[in-house]
Structure 1
Amino acid sequence: MTSSRAETFLSHKERWRATGGSIVGTALEWYDFFLYGTAATLAFNHLFFPSADPLTGTLLAFGSFAVGFIARPIGAIVFGNYGDRIGRKLVLVITLMIMGVSTVLIGLIPDYNSIGLFAPITLTVLRFIQGFGLGGEWGGAVLMSLEHGDPRRRGLAASWPQIGVPLGLLLANGTLALMLAVTSDDAFLAWGWRVPFLLSAVLIAIGLWIRLHVTESPEFERLAAEGKRVKLPIVEVLRTQRRELLIATGSRIGTDVAFYIFVLFIVTYLTQMVKIPEPTAMLVVLLSAAAMLVLIPAFGALSDKLGRRPVYLGGAVGALVWVLAFFPLLETGNLASLLVADFVGMLCWAAMYGPLASFTTELFPANVRYSGASLGFQLSGIFGGALAPIIAVALYGRFQTWIPIAVYVAAMLIITVVSVTLARESSGHTSEAAISQEVHL
């Protein structure tokens, strides 16, 4: 074997190892995050926020869910700063540990009847810590995959960690569905919901082992070798990349709202409004999520051929139209209609989420990319995913109809359409092109 061929082989090996580490780690972290969201609907509203009105208890539980989103931009600033200064790999190991420990501890909290107000307070604090860790996770995972990947296929390379979302969702809802199936209602509320949280300890150990064996990002190593690292990356982003930060934030708001309606609020809507059994509601979400494992990288690859903006805009406009049919199909209560409603909604979401990672990261120069992409991605979560379940539940409680919810989702998707339209097309930008745009002090 020649030296050049050996180098090529090692390059492919390291590329796939980095991609695999990003997928597994991101899936485990999203498992922790979604586990909380689904448990908020099934258990936390009864155990930590007791109320005579189930809808009110759910609203309070989703309020604690939103706390994690508030913490995420803080995590993005802190871990983005270190990711741009000391490297992607170490930061990803730290965020994985933070998420894992907080999730296991949630599974050990006594309920409201045991310790009173300390129960919801402790739950909310641990949820904040979860969000803090996740705030630095997404940017690092995407960059490790993108910066190890083929510059000609950055859309596909960056989309691989994105499948961590449906993988995490499948793991979270799958384990909860299993516990619902093997326990009675009383047993599930007593201890069954805790098992998936405690299982996180095993999953985090596996993810940690993989990440410790991944090499550092080659682009970061080049920046370090050439002395091009920035002392205060987030300050440089706010000083020189404000337009890009606003575009990154706005482009994801509608994407985020659509996702949390299609995968989280749908469980509440089907079980509490349409009176569908919980296992059926969760089955609908699980089947749609499984399809996303294929569709997300497919749309990421498509963005390498057609461009980030056309694919992204196609998904946003599709979701904007589909939300008008989504709720009427849910109202039928028919399983086939439920599956069609959620699958098409998630298909539109995948068309946005597939190119989102490359679209967002390519907005920023390499030496402030972790900070800029992470902050833009996580800021949108406050206005998008954090508020979506709360607003949806509140709107239904006030008007007793799905129409205001659909209008709200459509309005958020319009923000995404405008933001993506204002962005430059970046699919033709190679790593070398990004180098020429680096911020210099």
Structure 2
Amino acid sequence: MDGSTTLTGVTRQRAQSARNAVAASTIGSILEYYDFFVYGTMAALVFGEIFFPTDVPAVSSLLALLTFTLGFMARPLGGIIIGHFGDRIGRKPLLLFTFMLTGIVTVLIGLLPTYAQIGLAAPLLLVFLRILQGIGIGGEWGGAALMAVEHAPAKKTGLYGSLVQAGAPVGVILSSSVVALLTATLTREQLVAWGWRLPFLASALLLIVGLFLRWKVTETPEFDRLKEGRAQVKVPVWQAIRRYPGQIVTAILIHTSDTTLGLIQSVFVLGYASGVLGMDPTVVLLANVFAAVTNLITTPLAGALGDRIGQKRVVSIGLVGLALWAFPMFLLIGTETVGGLFLAVGVGGVLVGWLFSGQATLFASFFSPEVRYSGMSLGFQIGTVIGGGFGPLIAQALTTAAGGSTWPVSLYMVLVAVVAFVATQLVKAGYGAHAEQTLATGENTK
């Protein structure tokens, strides 16, 4: 066997490992967002009645939605804890752990007894499982992103990272479709009695497929080199904060931008268009699915473009687009027409996908390998809390203060975009002279 044959075999093996890694990571991303948004939808629809029954339905609904917020709040904790071990013992073990934790907890939620069956223990168990779910999801993204990006071939880190990001809109589409199917085929009584359990139990299928794919994935070459050189640090998250504070803040601001737009569209606009403007809630839900489709189409295209012009430039273009679109978006929604609504959220979906696509690759380039899992998880998950957990609440508060007008919401979105844009221009890659274009793995630095 000559050297060229051996080299070809090694190259094929690396390519297969990269494909396995991106497939396993993407299925995890799909499960993550499916689980998270199924919970949010069910919390809004039935959890108040099932787990928090009171004499005032609005109070029951508020208590149920607070558990959704708790899941957001737990995500940075998951990023810190799981990121620590991901930098200490490896990407693959933690990727398996977070996937099992998230999937099993979701199935357990579907098996929970209700308040009518076991009383106060029911909501307490729900809160406990929701926090566990948030912790698992908080650690899932960093591992999935790194598994894909650190395995990626030269000059394709953006594309591979974007495929993991594309799991988000797929999860949203699946969760929305499953819930829409249930609400269309079941009566309200059936949905409350047993139908609400089905989407949670169905996630077991994704769990089984994902575990099969993830079990076959090898550890990333980047972490293998860390272990060989014994370069792990004792407290990765502290080292990340100490050495890369600007990169963490920039990651927070960038991810805040797309989650602010995405959650304002999917949560605030849902209530505003149906409740204030009087549009058909089904039409608004379909518009959200359409936004997820435009997001899905845009994400890999923008990721591939980032491999050509740099992820930092792609993100910057997206932030300019967000600032320019903030006012026209609500002007179109204000027309109270189906076409205006679909155009508004459809373009919004493109912007979310554009901003989201390169974050796995760009954020990984901010940190050296021994603190990368911790640093990028911390920035990403805090951004999720600010944009996703508080974005819709801020939008509602601003609209209420303005007497029902949405211009303060648009102004807020512009502010988020401008601050993130400035931080993106100032940030420096924390690892390697060409860290934005490559992750400086052995193959990519040649």
| 1:215 paired residue among 201, 213, 218 | 218
Matches of residues 406-421 of structure 1 in structure 2 within 5 Å? 406-421=410-425
Partner of 2:7: 4
CA RMSD of aligned residues (A): 2.5
| 1:241 paired residue among 236, 239, 244 | 244
Contact 1:255 1:416 in 2 (8 A): no
Q: Which deviates the most, 423-432 or 248-257?
A: 423-432
Q: Distance in 1 between matches of 2:366 and 2:277?
A: 42
| 1:186 paired residue among 189, 199, 202 | 189
Normalised by the length of structure 2, the TM-score is 0.90
Q: Which deviates the most, 275-284 or 133-142?
A: 275-284
The residue type equivalent to 1:416 in the other structure is A
Q: Which deviates the most, 131-140 or 316-325?
A: 316-325
Q: Which deviates the most, 269-278 or 4-13?
A: 269-278
Q: Partner of 1:431: helix, strand, or coil? A: coil
Partner of 1:431: 440
Q: Distance in 2 between matches of 1:140 and 1:210?
A: 14
| 1:403 paired residue among 388, 394, 407 | 407
Contact 2:150 2:441 in 1 (8 A): no
| 2:95 paired residue among 80, 87, 92 | 92
The residue type equivalent to 1:427 in the other structure is E
- What per-residue deviation string (whole Å, max 9, x for no partner) do you get for residues 165-190 of structure 1? 00111111111011111112332233
The residue type equivalent to 2:141 in the other structure is W
Matches of residues 345-364 of structure 1 in structure 2 within 5 Å? 345-364=348-367
1:319 corresponds to 2:357: no
Give the C-alpha shift of residue 261 in structure 1: 1.2
Q: Distance in 2 between matches of 1:241 and 1:90?
A: 25
Q: Cα gap change, 1:433/1:213 in structure 2, threshold over 3 Å: closer, same or farther?
A: closer
Q: Distance in 2 between matches of 1:135 and 1:146?
A: 18
Contact 1:14 1:214 in 2 (8 A): yes
Q: Which deviates the most, 378-387 or 406-415?
A: 406-415
Q: Distance in 2 between matches of 1:313 and 1:249?
A: 15
The residue type equivalent to 1:143 in the other structure is L
| 1:155 paired residue among 148, 153, 158 | 158
Partner of 2:307: 304
Q: Distance in 1 between matches of 2:63 and 2:335?
A: 28
Q: Percent identity at matched positions?
A: 37
Partner of 1:15: 18
Give the C-alpha shift of residue 340 in structure 1: 0.6
The residue type equivalent to 2:421 in the other structure is V
The residue type equivalent to 1:428 in the other structure is Q
Give the C-alpha shift of residue 146 in structure 1: 0.6
Q: Partner of 2:316: helix, strand, or coil? A: helix
Contact 1:316 1:349 in 2 (8 A): no
Partner of 1:378: 381
Contact 2:162 2:300 in 1 (8 A): yes
Partner of 2:426: 422
Give the C-alpha shift of residue 353 in structure 1: 0.6
Consecutive unaligned residues in structure 2, runs of 5 or more:
430-434
Contact 2:322 2:413 in 1 (8 A): no
Give the C-alpha shift of residue 285 in structure 1: 1.4
Give the C-alpha shift of residue 46 in structure 1: 4.4
Normalised by the length of structure 1, the TM-score is 0.91
Q: Which deviates the most, 52-61 or 285-294?
A: 52-61
Q: Which deviates the most, 382-391 or 68-77?
A: 382-391
| 1:109 paired residue among 101, 108, 112 | 112
Contact 1:254 1:414 in 2 (8 A): no
Q: Distance in 1 between matches of 2:408 and 2:51?
A: 29
Q: Distance in 2 between matches of 1:161 and 1:271?
A: 32
Matches of residues 27-38 of structure 1 in structure 2 within 5 Å? 27-38=30-41
Give the C-alpha shift of residue 204 in structure 1: 0.9
The residue type equivalent to 1:376 in the other structure is G
- What per-residue deviation string (whole Å, max 9, x for no partner) do you get for residues 36-71 of structure 1? 122233333444455787766555443221211221
Q: Partner of 1:151: helix, strand, or coil? A: coil
Q: Distance in 2 between matches of 1:101 and 1:219?
A: 29
Q: Cα gap change, 1:99/1:423 in structure 2, threshold over 3 Å: closer, same or farther?
A: same
Number of residue equivalences: 436
